[in-house]
């Protein structure tokens, strides 16, 4: 991927105009924030992307149906500690109940309320606790909800940026959770982005799909796609800009800012992957298509052997070639080049002349960058991941 143009200015995290939020300790988890909400003063244009896992969780299905009906949303209720997944009819009823309780509390239509859950699979939500929790929820400029969504994440992941659209200052604020739980069943990813920009709902949906493909869909921690993954983007128009739609002259500017927010959050998730000690970025260039560039980049960051090699801080490039060759992407089999932290390891598919020690030394850095040239076209793609460590095995095998 090209250097991202920093069109939008990063600011300290806060909600855009017209949004407020709250969080509480409902008791799903022991003495931790585990239930929160995010509310816009007015209905917002909304877009969502959802897990491709066939066992979509009840809240994920409900939110998908709710948003896709009219591309509108005004509030989201979310919890950690329980995924409400593989929970059958009762699970669906419970997600609906949450939706209705929030609608009642805000005196808005239920189809303006999204529901998101993350946590253990196959257990029914403790509805008494959730009902009490919803009663207790309040609204303010607090950002505690960014903490209530976490599981084994080591810190909240937030970003806010500002840009100018048709002379109005627009704010975009995003937060998400990454992978792993204290009593985990699988990595679940949730992301929420709010903006006070005025944006056409259909355009917003297409933009979110496009940019998710370049960001969240290009990270991997362990190759497992959860049943609850969801990213929701809301735009309430309170900044007063001229509405952005597919024909707007400023749509590229807005899209770049959305990309900036999503890419930042995606990288944060990769960096804070279970047990991770390093953030890995793979940039593939000269691919035949963008899809193939992204495929090769993701194959490399997903390879267990590459991930273990990065943990071991060894410049064992054969594993990178192996991952490239495993794909069916077009490539010039005799002219592939690979760089590790700027040091060329492979030239024309054969060992380049390089000093092993500087290459190894560069691997002691927290961030590792792998560049690949497929010599097959003009497309580029990037993916992010982390290394494979003893701690990953420990978290997922010995977590009790």
Binding positions for substrate are 151, 177, 188, 274, 396
Choose one: 39-47, 147-155, 209-217, 304-312; the region binding its own copies (CB under 8 A). 304-312
Residue 142 or 349: the one with the smaller Cβ distance to its own copies is 349
Site for its own copies in 161-190 (CB under 8 A): 185-187
Radius of gyration over every alpha carbon of the chain, rounded to an integer in angstroms = 22
353 a catalytic residue: no
Give the separation between CA 172 and CA 233, rounded to whole angstroms.
Answer: 10
Task: Give yes or no for residue 87 binding its own copies (CB under 8 A).
Answer: yes
- Specify the residue, 170 or 320, whose C-beta has the smaller distance to its own copies: 320
Taking the complex as a whole, the smallest distance from the CB of residue 165 to its own copies amounts, in Å, to 39
Phi, psi of 31 (to 5 degrees): 55, 40
Among 120, 208, 276, 370, binds its own copies (CB under 8 A): 120
- Which residue from 106, 305, 369, 380 is in contact with its own copies, where contact means CB under 8 A? 305
Min dist CB 367 to its own copies, Å, is: 18
Dihedral sign, Cα of residue 10, residue 11, residue 12, residue 16: negative
Cβ of residue 32: shortest distance to its own copies, in angstroms? 21
CB 6 within 8 A of CB 44: no
- Distances in whole angstroms, Cα of residue 207 to Cα of each of 49, 66, 161, 218, 237: 11, 18, 17, 16, 16
Q: Segment 212-231, which members bind its own copies (CB under 8 A)? A: 222-227
- The residue among 244 and 282 lying less far from its own copies, judged by its C-beta, is 282
When the beta carbons of 172 and 363 are compared against its own copies, the nearer one is 363
Residue 86 in the binding site for its own copies (CB under 8 A): yes
Residues 6+ apart with CB under 8 A from 28: 34, 35, 79, 80, 81, 82, 119, 125, 126, 129, 130, 133
Task: Kindly provide the b/e burial profile for residues 89-128, where b requires at least 16 CB atoms within 10 angstroms of the residue's own CB.
Answer: eebbebbebbbebbbebeebeebbbbbbbbbbbebebbee
289 interacts with its own copies by CB under 8 A: no
From residue 15, give the alpha-carbon distance in Å to each of 32, 44, 48, 74, 262. 22, 14, 19, 14, 16
Tell me the helix, strand and coil percentages in the chain, rounded to 5.
Answer: 35, 30, 40
Residues that contact its own copies, how many (by CB under 8 A):
64
- Binding string, 324-353, against its own copies, x = CB under 8 A? xxxxx--x-xx-x---------x-xxxx--
The CB-of-312 to its own copies minimum distance in angstroms stands at 3
Dihedral pair phi/psi, residue 354, rounded to 5°: -150, 160
261 in Cβ contact with 161 (< 8 Å): yes
- The smaller minimum CB distance to its own copies, of residues 243 and 332, is found at 332
The active-site residue, picked from 152, 188, 194, 215, is 188
Inter-residue contact 164 to 257 (CB < 8 Å) = no
Residue 355 engages its own copies in binding (rule: CB under 8 A): no
Interacting positions 22-61 with its own copies (CB under 8 A)? 52-56
Query: Residue 255 CB, nearest distance to its own copies (Å)?
Result: 29
69 sits near its own copies (criterion: CB under 8 A): no
Write down the least CB distance from residue 103 to its own copies, Å.
27
Nearer to its own copies among residue 137 and residue 310 (C-beta): 310
Backbone φ, ψ for residue 174 (5° rounding): -130, 145
Residue 223 CB, nearest distance to its own copies (Å)?
Answer: 6
What is the rounded distance in angstroms from the CA atom of residue 285 to the CA atom of residue 29?
45
178 sits in the region (left: phi over 0; alpha: psi -120 to 50; else beta) called beta
Q: Name the one residue in this structure whose structure tokens are 């997600």.
A: 95
Residues that bind its own copies (CB under 8 A): 52-56, 83, 85-88, 120-123, 185-187, 222-227, 302-305, 308-309, 311-312, 314, 316-319, 321-328, 331, 333-334, 336, 346, 348-351, 388-390, 392-394, 396-400
Task: List the catalytic residues.
Answer: 188
């Amino acid at each position: 991927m090209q250097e991202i143009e920093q069109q939008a200015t990063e600011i300290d995290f806060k909600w855009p105009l017209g949004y407020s939020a709250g969080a509480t300790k409902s008791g799903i988890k022991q003495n931790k924030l585990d239930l929160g909400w995010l509310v816009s003063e007015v209905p917002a244009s909304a877009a969502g992307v959802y897990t491709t896992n066939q066992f979509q969780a009840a809240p994920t299905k409900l939110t998908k149906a709710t948003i896709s009906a009219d591309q509108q949303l005004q509030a989201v209720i979310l919890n950690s500690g329980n995924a409400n997944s593989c929970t059958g009819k009762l699970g669906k009823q419970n997600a609906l109940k949450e939706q209705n309780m929030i609608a009642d509390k805000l005196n808005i239509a239920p189809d303006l309320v999204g529901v998101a859950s993350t946590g253990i699979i196959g257990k029914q939500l403790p509805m008494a606790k959730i009902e009490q929790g919803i009663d207790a929820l309040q609204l303010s400029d607090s950002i505690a909800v960014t903490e209530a969504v976490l599981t084994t994440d080591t810190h909240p992941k937030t970003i806010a940026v500002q840009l100018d659209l048709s002379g109005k200052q627009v704010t975009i604020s995003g937060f998400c959770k990454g992978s792993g739980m204290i009593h985990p069943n699988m990595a679940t990813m949730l992301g929420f982005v709010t903006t006070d920009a005025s944006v056409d709902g259909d355009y917003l949906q297409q933009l979110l799909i496009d940019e998710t493909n370049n960001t969240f869909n290009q990270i991997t921690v362990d190759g497992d796609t959860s049943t609850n993954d969801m990213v929701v983007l809301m735009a309430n128009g309170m900044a007063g800009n001229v509405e952005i739609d597919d024909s707007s002259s400023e749509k590229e500017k807005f899209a770049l800012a959305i990309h900036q927010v999503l890419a930042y959050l995606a990288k944060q998730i990769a960096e804070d992957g279970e047990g991770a000690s390093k953030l890995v970025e793979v940039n593939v260039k000269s691919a035949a298509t963008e899809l193939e560039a992204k495929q090769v980049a993701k194959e490399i960051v997903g390879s267990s052997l590459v991930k273990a090699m990065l943990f071991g801080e060894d410049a064992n490039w054969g594993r990178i070639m192996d991952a490239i060759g495993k794909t069916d992407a077009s490539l010039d089999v005799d002219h592939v080049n690979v760089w590790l932290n700027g040091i060329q390891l492979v030239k024309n598919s054969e060992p380049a002349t390089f000093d092993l020690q500087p290459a190894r030394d560069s691997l002691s850095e927290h961030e590792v960058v792998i560049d690949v040239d497929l010599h097959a076209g003009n497309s580029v793609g990037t993916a992010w991941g982390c290394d494979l460590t003893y701690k990953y095995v420990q978290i997922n095998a010995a977590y009790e």
